[in-house]
Amino acid sequence: MAPLNEEQLHQIRDDRREQIMRAALKVFARRGIIGTKMSMIAAEAGISHGLLYHYFSSKEELFTTLIEDAMKGAEEATSGVYDLPGTPLEKIRALSMEMLDESGTPYFMLIHHARTSDGVPEKVKELIARHDMHAFIARLLPVFREAQQAGEIVEGSLEELISSYLSVLSGLMVLNAQGIEGYRLPDVDMLLRLIARSRP
């Protein structure tokens, strides 16, 4: 059998790193940084404890890498709202659907732990501070302003409106992640009634 070339080795390393990060996301989302051990992540990934350390030197490094990815994804999603088709309210609806997608639940829990847990690395605290509610409001302000000017959403302070809406979405995702029996995420159109202007 021919030896693997550099490109194939690189691909194997990338795939293994992705496998580790997916496993770490699951464990951190469930247990937070304090309750997680590297051995738990290795077990979830189906690899040896020793091999894990070839890719990440500590759980803190892994946690920080995942938070960086989560923040980048959140930034891209909120900035990408302007490229979506439709009216301003339809853009907000599409963004809301993306935010409430079940696949994003572990990331919401990860960020929730990063905001509320002890033992969070300093770099993560800085990342969270840079991507606070004010940063998200600033990115969404133009599309909400357009929606308000078009008479699609209610009057009033846009900053307060966006802050309230994002808080509701975040709270729903955190609740959803708890796995409470009988709980399910509400329909996006039901949520939009919080901000949408009722038609005469």
In this prediction, residue 199 carries a pLDDT of: 62
In this prediction, residue 58 carries a pLDDT of: 94
* Below-70 pLDDT ranges, the chain: 1-2, 4, 179, 199-200
130 CB-near residues (< 8 Å, 6+ apart): 71
Q: Alpha-carbon distance 82 to 140, whole Å?
A: 9
In this prediction, residue 117 carries a pLDDT of: 87
Q: Alpha-carbon distance 108 to 111, whole Å?
A: 5
In this prediction, residue 120 carries a pLDDT of: 92
Q: Is residue 43 a contact partner of residue 60, using CB atoms and an 8 Å limit?
A: no
In this prediction, residue 2 carries a pLDDT of: 62
In this prediction, residue 144 carries a pLDDT of: 95
Q: Is residue 150 a contact partner of residue 197, using CB atoms and an 8 Å limit?
A: no
Q: Alpha-carbon distance 149 to 129, whole Å?
A: 31
Q: Alpha-carbon distance 32 to 53, whole Å?
A: 20
Q: Alpha-carbon distance 14 to 73, whole Å?
A: 19
pLDDT in tens, 83-142: 989 999 999 999 999 888 878 888 888 888 898 888 899 999 999 888 888 988 999 999
Instruction: Output the pTM of the full model.
Output: 0.81
